[in-house]
Structure 1
Amino acid sequence: MKWNLRLTAAERGIWKSAQMRRMLAEAGLEISAGKMSSWWAASPPVIRLEELDVLCAVLECVPDDLLIPEPEKVVARRPAQAEAVGEEHPGATVVTPRFGKPRSQPPL
């Protein structure tokens, strides 16, 4: 996912992270300067749904405005699939049976 807070805020006339932080505080979300800085400069590693709700309310936007899917990154993370899997079941794993020692029979 691509984090789009800075552009979304700029489209609404918010140019500085300090201004954004004050607006969030007025809406009831107190966050540290460090956390605001990481939200402003890069993608946050974690964001709580409550925080996302307040961001959307302050910016008058929807989560789709802040989070942009990047499907090409998902495809790049997938391991190469073996040709033996076949096209009929994409993503399936080939299972090879193992033959070990036969189990003993219970006494008669």
Structure 2
Amino acid sequence: MKWNLRLVAAQRGIWKATELQRRLADHGLVISAGKMSGLWSKTPASLKLDDLEIICSVLGCNVGDLLVPEPRKVVVRGESAAGGAE
């Protein structure tokens, strides 16, 4: 999955992680500076669905705007990442 938080935030005029962090806190989602930095700069390994719901609400977007499937990165048993048989 591709994590598009920065792109979606920028499309809504939010250019800094601290600004999004403040807006999330206004909606009840308090995130530490370290965790916010991770969400802003890389794909999170895990994310609570409740937190994702608040992020979507604050940004006025859908989950599909933030998480974009990358099917070519999924390895099917018996195939290589390039799609050929092993």
TM-score normalized by structure 2? 0.88
Higher RCO (CA < 8 A, seq sep 6+)? 2
Which of 1 and 2 has greater Rg?
1
- 2: CA distance, partners of 1:50 / 1:79: 32
TM-align CA RMSD: 0.9
How much identity, in percent, do the aligned residues show? 53
- What amino acid does structure 1 have at the position aligned with 2:69? P
Q: For structure 2, list consecutive stretches of 5 or more residues without a partner in the other structure.
A: 80-86
- What amino acid does structure 1 have at the position aligned with 2:71? P
Question: Which structure shows the higher helix fraction?
Answer: 2
Task: Output one character per residue of 1:44-81: Cα deviation in whole Å (capped at 9) or x when no partner.
Answer: 0100000000000000000000000000111xx22326
Count of aligned pairs between the two proteins: 79
TM-score normalized by structure 1? 0.71
Task: Output one character per residue of 1:18-63: Cα deviation in whole Å (capped at 9) or x when no partner.
Answer: 0000000000000110110000000001000000000000000000
